[in-house]
A = this chain, B = another copy of it.
Amino acid sequence: MVKLYWAEDGGIPPGDRGLAYGDGLFETIRVDNGHAPMQAYHLDRMTQDAARLGISITRAELTAVFHQALQRYAESHAEDSLVLKLTLTRGAGGRGYRPAPGVQPNILVSYSSLPPLPDCRGVKVDFSRVPLTINPLLAGIKSLNRLEQVMAALELQGDVFEVLMANASGHIVEGTRTNLFVETSNGWLTPAAGSVAVAGVMRRYVLERLRAAGEPVKEGPVLPEDLLAEDCLGVYLTNSVLGVVPVRSLAGQDLPVTGRLATICGYTPTTE
């Protein structure tokens, strides 16, 4: 049975494995006017990721926590648009790295205000100097082990919105907080689920919408030259809080920007 903690009541006890080892998961869920359009995708992912790590929690327990949180904050918060954060940990106890058998998970709930949306005409992006390493066993999991993303985010300067990280093979995998879609003359390209650090819920949504629209989509390696090629039709970053973000400039090179992906997806969160 998961134990629920509220950030405003002091948070999770100090012996928790989430702090000790990053032994847990998190979701940041956009809530607009009391409604979270991506709710099911977030709760799906956290349930699946928890199963992969062996953290015992059910979808029903998570759903109950989510509704409790929505109710608590929508009632107490001045406006009912916010970002809800769920931090699920394996709990406390064990001998060092080895969890105690039957350890019970903890969940910490908090919220923050909505961030400003990026410029819909496109954002400036650079390449990161921080290499991205992906353990095949942990690929795609939105775990609390995010030091590589923190180190890359330290490179963000001025009006650079995001930096793109490459793996050891030189493939461009994702941004610090975004997944990557490229429109090529042969259709859409995005790194495969097994090769990403975080498989974003917006990535799943965009893939579903592209396929539903009959667009050709390939999940496979993205090379720097794919992004900077003459025939690149557009580069897009996805994030469940920010939606589909077009890239207008990459490493100083201008890129074409269209609203096509946002139109296909029919989903662009607004701060209205």
Q: Write the residues of chain A forming the contact surface with B, with a CB cutoff of 8 angstroms.
A: 5, 7, 10-23, 26, 53-54, 87, 89-90, 95-99, 108, 110, 115, 130-138, 143-154, 156, 168, 176-177
For residue A145, which residues in chain B have a CB less than 8 angstroms away from its CB? 21-22, 145-147
A153 B96 Cβ-Cβ under 8 A: yes
For residue A96, which residues in chain B have a CB less than 8 angstroms away from its CB? 153, 176-177
A149 B19 Cβ-Cβ under 8 A: no
CA distance A26 to B89 in the complex (A): 18
B138 A147 Cβ-Cβ under 8 A: yes
CA distance A135 to B133 in the complex (A): 6
Given the contacts A87-B19, A144-B21, A144-B22, A177 and B115 also touching, CB distance less than 8 Å: no
Q: DSSP class of A's interface residues: helix, strand, loop or mixed?
A: loop
B21 A19 Cβ-Cβ under 8 A: no
- Copies of this chain in the oligomer: 2
CA distance A115 to B98 in the complex (A): 14
A137 contacts which of B89, B110, B131, B153 (Cβ < 8 Å)? B131
CA distance A137 to B133 in the complex (A): 10
Question: What are 18 A-B pairs with beta-carbon distances under 8 A?
Answer: A7-B14, A10-B13, A11-B11, A11-B19, A14-B108, A18-B19, A20-B144, A21-B22, A21-B145, A22-B144, A22-B145, A23-B146, A54-B154, A95-B115, A98-B176, A131-B135, A144-B147, A145-B147
A135 — nearest CB in chain B belongs to which residue?
B133
B134 A15 Cβ-Cβ under 8 A: no
A147 B143 Cβ-Cβ under 8 A: yes
Given the contacts A97-B176, A135-B133, A150 and B18 also touching, CB distance less than 8 Å: no
CA distance A87 to B16 in the complex (A): 12
CA distance A221 to B156 in the complex (A): 35
For residue A10, which residues in chain B have a CB less than 8 angstroms away from its CB? 10, 13-14
A151 B53 Cβ-Cβ under 8 A: yes
A168 — nearest CB in chain B belongs to which residue?
B168
For residue A26, which residues in chain B have a CB less than 8 angstroms away from its CB? 20
B130 A97 Cβ-Cβ under 8 A: no
CB distance from A149 to the nearest CB of B (A): 5
Central interface residue in A5, A146, A149, A168, by most chain B CB within 10 Å? A146
CB distance from A172 to the nearest CB of B (A): 16
